[in-house]
Amino acid sequence: MNNTTSSAPEACDLIIRADVVVTQDDARSVITNAGIAILDGLVVEVGEYAAIEAAFEPTSRLDLAGKMLMPGLVNGHTHLPMTLFRGYADDLPLMEWLEDHIWPVEFQLTDDMLTIGAQIGCAELIRTGCTSFLNGYFHEAVTGDTASACGLRAVLGEGFFHFPSPHFPTAEDCWSTIRNLKSRYDSNPLIRTAVTPHAAFTVAPDELVASFELATELDVPWQIHLAESTAETAICMEKYGQRPIPLLHAYGLLTDKTTLHHCVDVTDEEIALLADTKVNVVHNPGSNLKLCSGLSPVQKMLDAGVTVGLGTDGASSNNQLNMFRDMALAALIGKVRHNDASAVNAQAALDMATRGSAKCLGWPELGRIEKGYPADIIALDLSYPNLMPVYNHVSHAVYGATGMEVCMTMVGGEILYLYEDFKTLDVKALRGEALRASKWILSTAKK
């Protein structure tokens, strides 16, 4: 940036002024008395406000005095329409929860119901400062269209099983839908796709291989639930005589294009394998706790060099899509899991929720505020009592913030939420739709 007084200011769309910017750049710079210049949806400069103001002539300005700017959080694993099941089947172990309560109802979901669930999910993500997410569910075009209309970024994965699902008699019947989904969003800058088998114990090995070949052909990420619990391990051992991670490795499915969700029941040898194969892992602490799946050895993975992101999972197994809560849980649980107060420190947790998750989405340019990168930015109001006083802004983001301090959410330079005002959603009308959906869920469950 040329700061000489003789240079004419450069044109930009917007200048934001704030008390501080937590950039999450390579140096993890934290800038006080900060400014950000934005043009065509990208950050064109970030630095001290006086220098930004001198160097750029904006079309508009946004004064966020008293606020802390951060990259928009990246939810590395969720099932957005499952907001419909929030609180519907609580306090149950994974397999009972899935087989006896969730699957029987969700296999009857209509596009109308899925739209309501996706809208509720988008509203929650926007309100709590999440700007992009990696999804896996059914009829993913519904979630994609909803996310795009709301201004969020999403990577969509049409879920499939070995057994019949809401959309497909067999896994192979999903392939054309996956191809069509990618074609549908090829020209949409907000939406991308992935290939999404459910799990190693619900999709046969030959189908896993075929789906991975499809992901390779389409050049999209391949994501799967894996090693989520000891119960899953037991099923894999009974079916295939191998634990989940070695099973995938035997079929050549662990690569840098692979994103594994959960990885709770893993051994030291398997962690080394994850590192060697450069796979991406998404940690889901809230969901793992609620389903009593276990405590993932996240610090061991980080120490081994594994890319670890962070996700909420669906709102039926977490009850929230609030990434701030899962950041705090990741840090706190990590210390107990490793019996080490320094394990999964605040910076590591924030890295997981931003840069780490971005890699898990196959979208590594997200999760940072840096020149040339997308202007996906959120603001936290530092006037909240739980954020006073300030010694360490990263610590506050992870341990102090609840997500309700978010006062601005922006994606690609477009403001989606500002001071209780949702710009792309009618949240008041959505309350009525949520009530209608809950009545449908209860009536369907009784059939």
Query: Angle 111-127/140-150 helices, nearest 10 degrees?
Result: 40
Tokens of 294: 């276990």
What's the chain's average pLDDT? 95
**How crowded is residue 194: how many other Cβ atoms within 10 Å of its Cβ?**
26
* Alpha-carbon distances of 160 from 92, 117, 180, 224, rounded to whole Å: 23, 19, 15, 10
If one compares 7 and 45, the residue with the highest pLDDT of the two is 45
Q: What is the pTM of this model?
A: 0.96
Predicted confidence band of residue 3 (pLDDT cuts 50, 70, 90) = low
Cα radius of gyration (the chain): 22
At residue 36, φ and ψ (nearest 5 deg) are -135, 130
Q: How far apart are CA 101 and CA 110, in angstroms?
A: 17
Does the structural domain 73-360 have CATH classification 3.10.520.10?
no
Report pLDDT for 4. 47
Three-class SS of the chain: CCCCCCCCCEEEEEEEEEEEEECCCCCCCEEEEEEEEEECCEEEEEEEHHHHHHHEEEEEEEEEEEEEEEECEEEEEECHHHHHHCCCCCCCCHHHHHHHHHHHHHCCCCHHHHHHHHHHHHHHHHHCCEEEEEECECCHHHHHHHHHHHCCEEEEEEEECCCCCCCCCCHHHHHHHHHHHHHHHCCCCCEEEEEEECECCCCCHHHHHHHHHHHHHHCCCEEEEECCCHHHHHHHHHHHCCCHHHHHHHCCCCCCCEEEEECCCCCHHHHHHHHHHCCEEEECHHHHHHCCCCCCCHHHHHHHCCEEEECCCCCCCCCCCCHHHHHHHHHHHHHHHHCCCCCCCHHHHHHHHHHHHHHHCCCCCCCCCCCCCECCEEEEECCCHHHCCCCCHHHHHHHHCCCCCEEEEEECCEEEEECCEECCCCHHHHHHHHHHHHHHHHHHHCC
Amino acid, single-letter form, for residue 153: R
Span of 24-38, 84-98, 184-198 with lowest mean pLDDT: 84-98
pLDDT tens for residues 357-412? 999 999 999 999 999 999 999 999 999 999 999 999 999 999 999 999 999 999 99
Q: How far apart are CA 4 and CA 12, in angstroms?
A: 18
Predicted confidence band of residue 53 (pLDDT cuts 50, 70, 90) = very high
Give me the architecture of the 10-71+367-422 domain, per CATH: Roll (2.30)
Q: How far apart are CA 45 and CA 37, in angstroms?
A: 5
pLDDT tens for residues 17-41? 999 999 999 999 999 999 999 999 9
Predicted confidence band of residue 168 (pLDDT cuts 50, 70, 90) = confident
Tokens of 178: 């996956």
Q: How far apart are CA 353 and CA 355, in angstroms?
A: 7
The total number of residues shown for the chain amounts to 447
pLDDT tens for residues 270-323? 999 999 999 999 999 999 999 999 999 999 999 999 999 999 999 999 999 999
Check pLDDT > 90 for residue 77: yes
Report pLDDT for 7. 80
* Alpha-carbon distances of 405 from 17, 41, 77, 173, 383, rounded to whole Å: 18, 24, 23, 45, 9
Span of 83-97, 214-228, 233-247, 312-326 with lowest mean pLDDT: 83-97
Report pLDDT for 92. 84
Cβ-Cβ contacts under 8 Å for 203 (sequence gap 6 or more): 160, 161, 162, 171, 197, 211, 224
Cβ-Cβ contacts under 8 Å for 163 (sequence gap 6 or more): 202
Q: So where are the chain's domains?
A: 10-71+367-422, 73-360
Q: How far apart are CA 158 and CA 170, in angstroms?
A: 13
**How crowded is residue 111: how many other Cβ atoms within 10 Å of its Cβ?**
13
Cβ-Cβ contacts under 8 Å for 153 (sequence gap 6 or more): 131, 132, 133, 147, 190, 191, 363, 366, 376, 411
